[in-house]
Amino acid sequence: MDLASRFADIDHLIQKGRSQEAFEKLSHLNAKELERSDLPAYAQLAWRANAPELGIRALAKYVRPDLKTTQDPSTAEVAEYAACLSRIGAHAEAEFLLAPCDPGEYPRVLFYRAALHISKWEYHLAVPILRNFLSNSRITPYERLVARINVAEALVVLGEAIQANYLLRELLHTTNLYQYQYANAKVLELSAQNAIQRGDIEIAQKMLNSAGEMLGEAKNFEPLFISKFKLYARMHANPGEAGLLAELKELLLRAKEIAHYETVRDLEACIAIYNQDDKRFLRVYEGTPYLAFRSKMLSAWPNEAPAPRGILRLGPENGEAKPLSLFGKEEEGKPSLLIQKVFSALLKDLYRPTKVATLYAAIYEGEHYRYESSPLRVRQAVKRARQWLSENCNGLKIERSEDGFFLSADEPIDVYVAPPQPAAENRLEALKENFGQEAFSLQTAGKVLELSPRSVLRLLSEPLDSGEIQKTGSGRQTKYRFCS
């Protein structure tokens, strides 16, 4: 079988939702034996089959060469490398790499930028980017289908029920017509969510039943989603139904068992709001880094929401907690700055283990992720943090799962989080005051704010999308300017 046929076979498996089989076939291909021109397509399949490490290894020497080279990486190489980086948790570096890429040269740049926003619950920023992607005549029919499903999901999350309904009807027809069973189940699930928002509980139940039958015992998380939204439909139909809370908690245990972290987060928030449990609400709210998810929680809380305390409860929920402050000056008995960075990264999200690449970006800000050496440096930093805990706080531990590192405690511990960084609005005002209408680069802005260029780019991402800031040039000649 030639390479094009093997790629097509793997693509077909991914479209059918059989990612594990796709991964196995992809693993049998030796990337070192492929032509350089074939590597972006190989990396794209790796990204879609949830095997991003394969794509990173294939493209690293071209996108992040150890020595200077006369041939710059292509836009396709950079975009696919960035997409694979985002899959392993190196979101900031991925965003930095994608920023100068020209979508006119490689349209998937737009899809990957949107995916980064979706990973942070920033659906309102993803929609216009996806629509721009869909306007490109060069994307494949399947790419168009996936992008439209992502737009539909964003509209459902944003509560745009009427727009979502029209799009979902078209998608149901398309996925049925072309027999995309996995995609059809996803569209049915989204249609059910949208029906719940409109109050059409009976229709939602029928759609969820159809999606569940279609998926059967599929080895993915979709059946769990179906169960979750069935419960949500019943909550909307009859909030006082006996036994509903017990079923929510049972589903929460199932989500924890299979390590589906976003479902755990969503169910914890749902239970907190359903019970009007202030403590649980604050644990989810302050243990979640996504502003959009926090806003969703606030809008669902029936009264005035409890005020954040700047304290994260680790360990058992009940019982008297031991207070613990991990941040401050080393001479005052606090850990070293490197160890504080480890703790800060692990405390950002209490529901999802911190991936190695995410930890690396937090500890060694501004440095490129290198698959050969970065994991070792992270393990060494974590080892030092564990040593400090064993000497200063026996009740708190750093553990590791297949998905990353996380903090755990056998007894209740209230951790006082680090003082908040200056608000993004204040930093933007500082840039505006310093540069006015003059153009500036990421490097010069970084010197003003004492941030790395990558952190400056993260700061500018939203004003760039809203049009407050304009970008000109490309590559090293990229400049930014306030529009007013």
Is pLDDT above 70 for 335?
Answer: yes
Please state the rounded mean pLDDT for residues 236-246.
Answer: 87
Is pLDDT above 60 for 221?
Answer: no
Q: Higher model confidence: residue 135 or residue 474? A: 135
Is pLDDT above 70 for 69?
Answer: no
C-alpha 38/C-alpha 320 separation (Å) is: 59
Q: Looking at domain 322-416, does it have CATH number 1.10.10.10?
A: yes
Q: What SS3 class is residue 66? A: coil
pTM assigned to the model: 0.83
Q: Looking at domain 424-482, does it have CATH number 1.10.10.10?
A: yes
Res. 217 pLDDT band, cuts 50 70 90: very low
The reply to whether 3-312 and 322-416 are identical in fold is no
C-alpha 37/C-alpha 469 separation (Å) is: 35
pLDDT per residue over 444-457, tens digit each? 888 777 777 877 88
Tokens for 475? 């590559």
pLDDT per residue over 274-295, tens digit each? 999 998 999 999 999 998 899 8
Buried b (16+ CB within 10 A) or exposed e, 23-43: bebbeebebeeeeeebbbbbb
Q: Write down the pLDDT at residue 419.
A: 47
Domain 3-312 class, CATH top level: mainly alpha
348, 91 contact by CB (below 8 A): no
Please state the rounded mean pLDDT for residues 415-432.
Answer: 70
In the chain, domain spans: 3-312, 322-416, 424-482
110, 116 contact by CB (below 8 A): no
Please state the rounded mean pLDDT for residues 97-115.
Answer: 96
Query: Which distant-in-sequence residues (6+ apart) come within 8 Å of 117 by Cβ?
Result: 123, 125, 126, 129
Is pLDDT above 80 for 425?
Answer: no
